[in-house]
Amino acid sequence: MTGSSYSPRFPARVRTFWPLFVSWVAVDFVTKRIAEDSLALHVPRSVLGEFFRFTLTYNTGAAMNFSLGQSSRVAFTVIATVMLFVIFRMYRETDDRDGWQAAALALIAAGALGNLLDRLRSARGVVDFIDVGTSGWRFWTFNVADMGVTVGAALLALLMWRQPRPPE
């Protein structure tokens, strides 16, 4: 077939989104189970000195331990569910050739689903275990799902910023 008439069986959007989404959810799930099985609660295990450690914690709130008190679990479950619907709608509206936007949406959706599954699985909250910083300053403990949301959101923002604006 000639280059102009060839059409892949699955568009770039599909070939990018689904493998990345499924892989990220799986890696998040597996790493959280390993952390729960091999780490003691709130006991740091050094990986790269003081800078990079694994420390098992459970977060009943949202990012950076943002909390809504007793309502946190239900509220953040509802918010994550609504966000997943929004992300999947954005995915459906993504151009078939736009693999980069599909990748950004896959990371965000996978991270949201990974943390949502933790909220549904246990009242203890979301499993966090990646701990970076120095003895004088430590970043909030996070997980693979959080990395997906953060990287995906940054990529999506960059892609949207770079899109040409429609003429007025």
User: Is residue 96 annotated as part of the catalytic site, yes or no?
Assistant: no
| Residue 33 amino acid letter | R
Q: Which of 28, 118, 131, 146 is catalytic?
A: 146
For 113, how many CA atoms within 13 A lie in the half-sphere containing its CB?
Answer: 20
User: Can you tell me the distance from the alpha carbon of 168 to that of 161, in angstroms, rounded to the nearest whole number?
Assistant: 17
C-beta neighbour count of 86 within 10 angstroms: 14
For the sheet with 126-134, list strands across it.
45-48, 52-59, 126-134, 137-138
Q: Which of 28, 118, 128, 131 is catalytic?
A: 128
- Beta-carbon contacts of 146 under 8 Å, excluding residues fewer than 6 positions away, are 63, 111, 115, 128
User: Is residue 98 annotated as part of the catalytic site, yes or no?
Assistant: no
Name residue, tokens 């990287």: 151
Q: Which residues are catalytic?
A: 128, 146
